């Protein structure tokens, strides 16, 4: 309640107070906003989703009738019949997994149907968000929470409750979470492939193999992180997982802040209205509702780097405007910026896993701390480091390539026969 939150904020440090407000209010505002934003995104993408499925079926029909040469190499996707077979094969083990946890064939069947529908729809939303803010900023936890909320309500409406209800909803959310994360990442891979003239069906085949390999490698990595930091501890608090469990239990047992979620949904509706008006007036800027809702949902420590990245992009564009840069130069700078930012993100992720190795061996979170656990952290060096990274991003983005690309790869490159 408001009184409880006010009491918790009394005497709290500013950063802790911000965390409390986010955990109890703004995060749920973001959940409501993402629910409405996700539905709006699906509504706007309805034609694209339908045309994408029909185009895949039409391409498969053309290939059956006219052979592989009837479809351009750069538009040759994996045949739709193979995709449907793979979906069916993946649903079978998931059904038995659901059955193992719930002990009910009926609940497991309902979960399998909900999983396929929700996975398809939210993967589309995730792919849209990956194109909007990048896969690294894709609100997977928000999408998962929205899925768990919708799945919980549907399961409750079907009379499924008790102990099996929350478990079933979380399992559906887990599957959709994986589907949405992979969907957003695959979109970026396929877009990169389109830019360099790759063959889609070959990319899609390797993406499937990549998922299989990841299934055998993610587990050991998570075990390593758990041994090093203990998942759920202060070092790895997993607040999203706690929120997902809270949402699932809250639907079946009560206690969710529906008023706050409803306010977030109403705010999202207002943002959609404003964005539509901006679109009709051909304004120079827009307010995408999902980007707005993600900004409300994400915590301050994630919003700050996104904001700083936006500031750097503005500074780079301002420099290009002052120098009257050509479209080719702007494209080069944009490509440089994406590569540098992606390198920062990848390097940070790899270092996080690498540092976990000595931490797990020494069984101390401060294994890599040069002065031990009691050494007071200096804020100034951290600030200098962040500023240096921003300057480096600015300089490397504006760097001129020695051999810039002069043409688009042809679409008629020789290749081996495929689907």
Q: What pLDDT digit, counting tens, does each position of 346-397 carry?
A: 888 888 788 888 877 877 767 776 665 555 666 777 788 889 999 999 999 8
- Distance, in Å, from the CA atom of 101 to the CA atom of 81, rounded to the nearest integer, reads 31
Spans in the chain with pLDDT lower than 70 = 1-3, 48-49, 52-53, 55-57, 59-60, 63, 65-71, 129, 132-139, 232-240, 365, 369-378, 401-419
The pTM for the full model equals 0.66
Q: Which long-range contacts (CB under 8 A, 24 or more apart) does 112-121 make?
A: 114/151, 114/154, 114/155, 114/172, 115/91, 115/172, 115/175, 115/176, 116/87, 116/91, 118/147, 118/150, 118/151, 118/172, 118/176, 119/175, 119/176, 119/179, 119/180, 121/42
- pLDDT attached to residue 388: 92
- pLDDT attached to residue 56: 64
- pLDDT attached to residue 407: 47
- pLDDT attached to residue 395: 92
pLDDT tens-digit series, residues 143-172:
787 788 888 888 888 777 777 788 888 888
Helices (H), 103-199: 105-133, 140-157, 164-196
264-291 CB burial, b ≥16 within 10 A, e <16: bbebbbebbeebeeeeeeeeeeeebbbb
- pLDDT attached to residue 42: 72
- pLDDT attached to residue 198: 86
- pLDDT attached to residue 373: 59
């Amino acid at each position: 309640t408001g009184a409880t939150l006010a009491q918790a904020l009394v005497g709290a440090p500013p950063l802790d107070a911000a965390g409390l407000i986010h955990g109890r209010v703004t995060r749920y505002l973001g959940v409501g906003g993402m629910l409405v934003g996700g539905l709006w995104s699906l509504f706007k993408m309805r034609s694209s989703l339908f045309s994408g499925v029909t185009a895949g079926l039409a391409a498969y029909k053309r290939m059956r009738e006219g052979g592989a040469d009837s479809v351009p190499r750069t538009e040759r996707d994996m045949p739709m019949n193979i995709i449907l077979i793979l979906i069916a094969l993946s649903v079978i083990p998931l059904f038995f997994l659901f059955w193992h946890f719930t002990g009910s064939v009926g609940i497991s069947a309902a979960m399998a149907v909900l999983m396929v529908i929700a996975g398809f729809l939210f993967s589309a939303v995730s792919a849209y968000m990956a194109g909007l803010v990048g896969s690294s900023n894709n609100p997977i936890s928000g999408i998962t929470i929205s899925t768990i909320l919708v799945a919980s309500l549907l399961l409750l409406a079907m009379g499924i409750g008790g102990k099996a209800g929350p478990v079933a909803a979380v399992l559906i959310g887990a599957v959709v979470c994986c589907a949405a994360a992979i969907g957003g990442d695959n979109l970026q891979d396929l877009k990169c492939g389109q830019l360099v003239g790759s063959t889609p069906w070959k990319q899609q085949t390797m993406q499937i193999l990549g998922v299989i390999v990841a299934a055998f490698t993610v587990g050991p990595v998570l075990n390593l992180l758990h041994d090093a930091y203990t998942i759920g501890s202060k070092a790895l608090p997993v607040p999203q997982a706690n929120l997902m469990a809270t949402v699932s239990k809250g639907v079946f047992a009560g206690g969710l802040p529906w008023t706050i979620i409803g306010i977030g949904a109403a705010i999202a509706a207002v943002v959609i209205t404003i964005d539509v008006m901006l679109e009709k007036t051909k304004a120079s800027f827009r307010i995408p509702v999902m980007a707005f809702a993600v900004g409300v949902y994400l915590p301050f420590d994630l919003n700050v780097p996104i904001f700083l990245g936006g500031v750097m992009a503005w500074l780079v564009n301002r420099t290009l405007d002052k120098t009257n840069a050509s479209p080719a130069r702007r494209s080069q700078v944009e490509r440089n910026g994406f590569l540098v930012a992606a390198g920062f993100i990848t390097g940070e992720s790899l270092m996080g896993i690498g540092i976990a190795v000595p931490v797990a061996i020494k069984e101390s979170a401060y294994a890599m701390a040069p002065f031990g656990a009691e050494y007071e952290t200096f804020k100034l060096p951290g600030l200098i480091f962040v500023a240096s990274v921003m300057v480096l991003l600015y300089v490397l983005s504006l760097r001129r390539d020695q051999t810039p690309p002069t043409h688009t790869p042809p679409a008629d490159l020789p290749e081996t026969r495929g689907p």
